[in-house]
Structure 1
């Protein structure tokens, strides 16, 4: 056994391992970073691709001991990365993944292409991804996803970086010597972990991977509802599992939300900023949070607009809910179930909001955590009722 010291996802690591231990086995078995997948274990399929001093490398054929002093970034370390966030949304939009086994390595390689290529040249993208094999998709959606991100970034005048921002010549990992540690910050591509971003006060904009539209009505005038939305503490009291850590300000709201998914319990700590437009009775809430226990991170955006009903006696609240969830908790979400859960949660929020505006105590005020399984059971019962109702009606 030998002691190996390196940096993994911006964290100093010093652990013992056999000299023959691969970097892939090291991050999976020693650090529980199982987003790095093992496929062929011969450096052919690309599922194990990670960043070694900022350069994509095959971790299954790289000895961990050979990475002494290097900086390693796995797919988990790119949770808050600007380019990877855009790629995740594009992969979802273009149906660029099915089983998902190749996806972590594919994203790492695609990110390198987005940084380097001057334009969305299909041939160069296919050549650049030729070292990442996918048995499911036929690559068409993957290529389209990468093209769309390159096109969008170039349209925003984000210029390509020469050699992907690399400053050291040589093989992957050679940048760990006197040239200094690999730091992606100058390239403005990898953000600090969400908890660090929150501590610094940075709540970034982002492109949501999933967007859900919801609508509900309240028997109160739009002006009264808009004023209520300015009561951040009151709104938080209407949301199950939400608690504030300090007096809220529009530019910064710090708090947490407790979520329980069966045996998985998570407590997302984070912050948000609130934007309001009185002229259009609309607003936007942007937040970011992390749960260290499940190694999950989330970014969320809620856009709302208030419309008068019944001559101004009532209000229609239109919501656009966008979010990106990464880590363990992202594996339990399915689009259909998430839509049903969102519908139920919005209904509960609307009911609590109505009660509070009517001078009553919201029913969720004493609820310590948000239990998705209790809500999911109600959703499942409703679905079964619809199915059997349709069958009995057909008979």
Structure 2
């Protein structure tokens, strides 16, 4: 394994990857940025297009280790970009998408094209966009959308004429190469490669194991219900400041990402799940009810995964109370969790592995909350809900218990 540190959508990320892990797989599987799609895996179709240090690149043929020290921007990183907003509107108006699988790569490539060549009178959009393939639209709508935005002559900074044309440099880059990279000064500053901690960014904070108590798991009328409790050695007010914000809570939960709540309290989010041979990406919406006086939060949501055909709904209620641990003011977090699963993933909702799985997920969540409270500006390890590691951990625990029981009987 190799440790890399890079900036992804404005956030510093430190992670361990194998030398042969492609950037696309790293973004999707470890960072849960599933807007980067994988099509041909040969760098031909363009569905995996992202920005690396201001230049578009094929993430399916770029190694993640080659991006150590680089600045990566995926389709999720353009939410506040005015030019991308105009392109999205134009794509919708011109009916430039059908299944939408190629659309993230089309948008990233189209934005790059407009930034570089919008002023050219003989711009051939079909030729310039020929590196992005679409099997649905016939390209007419895509070309029309790009023409519409190009005609607006967006005022964007020109790309530098001197820039490094090779892969993103890692910490061992040669001085000349590092200097060339430093010239890449497009719309946002580029962080120069470094073999040490990123200047101005807090390093990753070591995780502490937090004991999580899991109550009995009950299933009634298809709904699985259980409780979780853990204690954090932090004042109750500090814990509530973090846990009253659903987006900050979601960032600590493996596999979950929430958008900021709307004025009416409604939420939208995504959860990536991998359990055994099944992977699913749930997208949905929900509501929240917050009681600052009682320091209690209730979040309800529902979502579906088109790929597996699974549907889920759930409710999480947590309440904070004061306690003392080794003479240190602490906070007890009591959670009540209930959910229903329909479709292929429902087998895991009925499995006797649920208690072990939720205990491990809860421990990861509690550890991340504790780390965020200890160092608010530090980098959290990428949170992911990976069935392989969870299932292996659960199975190993059960094998160990069986061996200990057998040894006990033998003695």
TM-score (norm 2): 0.45
Bigger helix share: 1
TM-score, reference length from structure 1: 0.47
